[in-house]
Structure 1
Amino acid sequence: MSGKRRAIGLMGGTFNPIHYGHLVAAEAARDAFGLEQVIFIPSGMPPHKSAAFVAPAEDRYLMTFLAITPNPHFDLSRVEIDRAGPSYTSDTLAHFHRLGPDVDWYFISGADAILEIASWHAPEDIFEYAHLIAASRPGYSLSRLKAMESRLGPAHRARIHPLEVPALAISSSQIRERLRAGLSIRYLLPEAVENYIYKNRLYASDSHDGEGRATPPPDLRRR
């Protein structure tokens, strides 16, 4: 029997909404690091974002489900949505570490987010419980990431792994801006997620008060 440890990815995020950049990053990380699976974890109450700019947690959870279903290596967790209070990465990683202390956990996030790790809640716990995959887009300068790493000890530096991902040029904020402007979001995210957004009239305004929400283009109205 092999004594090789299992490696599993954890992709946390607001997913507001989820898009192809998230999916390509998760698949690229799975390939590059030999991950058995990648578990997507929509945040319940993001500590660094105003609730006024975030769609309801259940909508983001369902959009994530629709997006990942075609990939048998992707899974979904409600741990942050069901947990009361702010969604701290350190708490989430502690949860998974308790579930699998013999697993090598890899937390996948954007390189820009990893740069802010010192401001996250309990950063020492994050380094203890997981490796960090810092996903970046082509042409992204890793100089800032390397500068941050230089301030860390060798053990922490060994836990940070840069990964170039082409589709990270897509962003959730770009998609929300296009929806508010009445522009197409086709091919930026899975069709099932696009249809869900229009059906539930999300993101035409960031107030989420039921007024002025997105109206689907004519071709989507006929589906």
Structure 2
Amino acid sequence: MATLLHIDSSVFPSAASASRAVTDTFRKTWEAQHPEGTVIYRDLSASPVPHITADAHTAAFVDPATHTPGQAAAFAERVRLIEELEQADAVLVGAPMYNFTIPSTLKAWLDNVILFGRTAGDTPSAKGTPVTVVASRGGSYAPGTPREGFEYVQNYLAAVFVDMLGLELDYIVPELTMAPQNPAMAELVPLFESSRDRALEDAAVKAKALAERLAA
């Protein structure tokens, strides 16, 4: 049966997180399609992975037989995260926008799993794996909006997931998520609600279609 690697990075709990609400819908739909399947779940806010250190970086480029104890321990953690990615049939990532880009915890996970000569390079080891990213954001950064030029989440993740890791990328983008909390955005609440409902519907539809495709 299929394995889903589910990554959340919102600092907020499910009840207050736009991205978690959508990834939860996606995951539940996936599990309904694959009741015998496996979900590997990482909550990077509750349990952050280590940031890349000199030991973790240099260990990737030298003979393992020459690793210092520090290099061996740091690289073993990277390999564990890399293997989770390689063994997944599909990946689901909650990537809210914080200060125009992804959370630092998600960047740390990416820094660990990007390894040239293995997951990145000429023959990426997870090439072709479908990844669905829930890129929630407090405002709107869509093409044609005043803040289009400040959108560094989708642009960055496309460069990483597609250009470096060779994955098959799809987005779900709930936006204007700050409208209910920000009085200055009160008139945008209906647009937020529409975006939220569409994102939840997209999550269910995309999860079911992907599950059916992988089961075929």
TM-score above 0.5: no
Normalising by the smaller structure, the TM-score range is: 0.3 to 0.5
* TM score, norm. by length of structure 2: 0.37
* TM score, norm. by length of structure 1: 0.36
